[in-house]
Chain A
Amino acid sequence: MSYVPDNFKYVESHEWIEVLDNGNVRIGITEHAQNALGDIVFVELPEEDTYAIGDECGVVESVKTASDIYTPLTGTVVAVNDALEDAPELINENPYDDGWIFEMSIDDANELKDLMTAEEYRNSIEDEE
């Protein structure tokens, strides 16, 4: 079973969301997702722009395939993980930490309530593992 940190939130498209102390959120893809993709060799990082829930904002590509990244919340991308440009494999090695992809300032904190908890996400991927 893939590791799913308890203190993060999740969406069905396999992004994790960490709420930072300043109210912004940090987003990446889960261990389950990186494992399904295999060796990651390219990340197209989001533009620093405004997005709605479910917008395509970037792409993670493994040797095998390309997978879109979606914004899980409404808001503005305020930072991206530039280290991934030269070291996309950080997502494989450490998906919840060094492998983070972008940060957003969010428009409506109420949207956080609609995200999956760690337990809900674990249940959702159980059949695939």
Chain B
Amino acid sequence: MKKTHLHQAHLDAGAKMVDFGGWDMPINYGSQIEEHHAVRQDKGMFDVSHMTIVDLVGPESEKFLLKILANDVRKLGDGKALYSTMLNESGGIIDDLITYKRADNNYRIVVNAGTREKDLAWFEKQINAFDASITERPKVAMLAVQGPHAIEACLEVLPSDISKKLASLKKFSCLDETDYFIGRTGYTGEDGVEILVPQELVIELWNKLLQADVKPCGLGARDTLRLEAGMHLYGQDMNEEITPLECGLGWTVRKEDFNFIGADALSTQRDKGITKKMIGVVLGERGILRHNQELVDENGLTGIITSGSFSPSAQVAIGMAIVDKNMGENVKVKIRKKELNVKCIKLPFVRNGKVLI
């Protein structure tokens, strides 16, 4: 199994490891719930070095991104980050990713670990028509430090010249310095940063953050945090059979120059009428919502839970669901032999430490 540079550090911190897409990664370091609360209320860190980092350069880099991404990279100033889906010809989602603009025609892209091979193959296939080149950065480690007090801790432990600049870094922006690439981005619904450093530097950074009381958090807490924040997980809340218009990601699809790969399929879908939508559901009774449980309303309209779990912040079961566009108010979920009531809400469930349901 593949290991990140921090593998031994995880074991030293008491991690329980699991196979995550071929990577031996920490699921928790004891209690997933405590880790979850640490990020909501204070600060925690996640090793996300398994994610795939690629750099894109060359005079037609922007053109290439306009072709393969549904969002509009032209919106980006230097040092800004953009969330987007990447679609196939049918409008299905190949992956969701973050693109950081470093300078004109110079981008850094972070894609999911589980989709690395197909993403890289897709990049290779599409980039031939452009004067641009893609290079993977397997030796760059990535730490997500998240929570209301995460940035304070980073300011304390990073080299002083980096700290000075980080102090004024705006949300969804990145700092691009030698050895330190820091995005004020994340996947938890809290403030925080994602720090990319050469892997030789990551163990020392991890240890300093530990000393600054940043709690190591596993992939378990990462999942409940992103679910509460209403953030999609590739493979569960979206896949190649679903378009962004059907799963609550219409806001990431650009309106002008509708000529990216998959655009025609989205136009056709819009003309015919979108039949599905993404909602949040909250279980009104005791039990836990899970991926693939079925929903049905009073008129027999149906839906499916794409991600579900117990919400440590709200202390109830929550889920994201793709449902019929006309789904009514009285919705039930099938859990084993029972049908239980759920409340339908607009995502997210929690943002910046506040429970919204």
Kindly supply a per-residue 1/0 record for chain A positions 15-43, scoring 1 wherever the CB is within 8 Å of any chain B CB and 0 otherwise.
Answer: 00000000000000000000000110110
B310 touches A (CB below 8 Å): yes
Across the interface, do A38 and B220 meet the contact criterion of CB distance under 8 Å?
A: yes
Question: Size of chain B's interface in residues, with CB distance under 8 A?
Answer: 17
B178-205 interface bits toward A, Cβ cutoff 8 Å, 1 = contact, 0 = none = 0000000000000000000000000000
User: Nearest chain-B residue to A41 (Cβ)?
Assistant: B310
On whether the beta carbons of A42 and B286 are closer than 8 Å, the reply is: yes
Question: Is the pair A39, B32 in contact by a Cβ cutoff of 8 Å?
Answer: yes
Chain B residues near A64 (CB-CB < 8 A): 27, 32, 220
Fill in one digit per residue for A89-117: 1 if any B CB lies within 8 Å of its CB, else 0.
00000000000000000000000000000
Q: Does B259 contact A (CB under 8 A)?
A: no
Complex CA gap A124/B31 in Å reads 25
Q: Which of B16, B224, B287, B336 interacts with A63 by CB under 8 Å?
A: B224
The chain B residue sitting closest to A36, CB to CB, is B16
A85 in contact (CB, < 8 A): yes
Chain A interface secondary structure, helix, strand, loop or mixed?
A: strand
The reply to whether B32 and A63 form a contact with Cβ atoms under 8 Å apart is: yes
Q: Which chain B residues lie closer than 8 Å to A85 at the CB level? A: 286
Binary contact readout B296-325 vs A (1 if CB under 8 angstroms, 0 otherwise): 000000000000011010000100000000
CA of A117 to CA of B16 in the docked complex: distance in angstroms?
Answer: 27
Within 8 A of A (CB), among B267-314: 286-288, 290, 309-310, 312
Give the docked Cα–Cα distance between A12 and B127 (Å). Answer: 53
Please name the residue on chain B nearest to A61 by beta carbon.
B288
Q: Which residue of A lies closest to B310 (CB)?
A: A41
Residue interface bits B15-37, CB-to-A below 8 A is 1, else 0: 01000000000011001110000
* Nearest CB on B from A34, distance (A): 12
Q: How large is the interface on A (under 10, 10 to 19, 20 to 34, 35 or more residues)?
A: 10 to 19
Q: A38-B28, A63-B310 are in contact. List 9 more A-B contacts (CB 8 A).
A: A38-B27, A38-B32, A38-B220, A41-B288, A59-B336, A61-B287, A63-B33, A64-B27, A64-B32
| Cβ-defined contact, A66 with B290, below 8 A | yes
In the assembled complex, which residues on chain B have CB atoms less than 8 Å from the CB atom of A41? Answer: 33, 288, 310
**Residues of chain A from 67 to 93 with CB closer than 8 A to chain B in the complex:** 85
Q: Tell me the complex Cα distance, A42–B290, Å.
A: 13
Expressed in whole angstroms, the Cα–Cα distance for A31 and B309 within the complex equals: 23
The answer to whether B287 and A44 have CB atoms under 8 Å apart is yes
**Chain A residues near B28 (CB-CB < 8 A):** 38
Within the complex, the shortest CB–CB distance from B68 to chain A, in Å, comes to 34
Best-buried of A38, A61, A63, A66 by chain B (most CB within 10 Å): A63
Q: Nearest Cβ distance between residue A46 and chain B, in whole angstroms?
A: 13
- Please state if A63 and B290 are interface contacts (CB–CB under 8 Å): no
Q: What chain B residues lie within 8 Å of A44 (beta carbons)?
A: 287, 336
Interchain CA distance A38-B288 in the complex, whole Å? 15
Q: State whether B336 touches A39 (Cβ < 8 A).
A: no
Residue of B nearest to A85 (CB): B286
| Chain A residues in 8 Å Cβ range of B317 | 42
Chain A residue nearest to B312 in the complex (CB):
A63
A42 and B309 contact, CB distance less than 8 A: no
Look across to chain B and name the residue whose beta carbon is closest to the beta carbon of A68: B336
How far in angstroms is the closest Cβ of chain A from B222? 12
Q: Chain A residue with minimal CB distance to B288?
A: A61
Most chain B beta-carbon contacts within 10 A, residue among A38, A44, A59: A38
Contacts of B310 in A (CB 8 A): 41-42, 61, 63
Closest to B290 in A: A66
* Chain A to chain B contacts (Cβ below 8 Å), 28 pairs: A38-B27, A38-B28, A38-B31, A38-B32, A38-B220, A39-B31, A39-B32, A39-B33, A41-B33, A41-B288, A41-B310, A42-B286, A42-B287, A42-B310, A44-B287, A44-B336, A59-B336, A61-B288, A63-B32, A63-B33, A63-B220, A63-B224, A63-B309, A63-B310, A64-B27, A64-B32, A64-B220, A66-B288
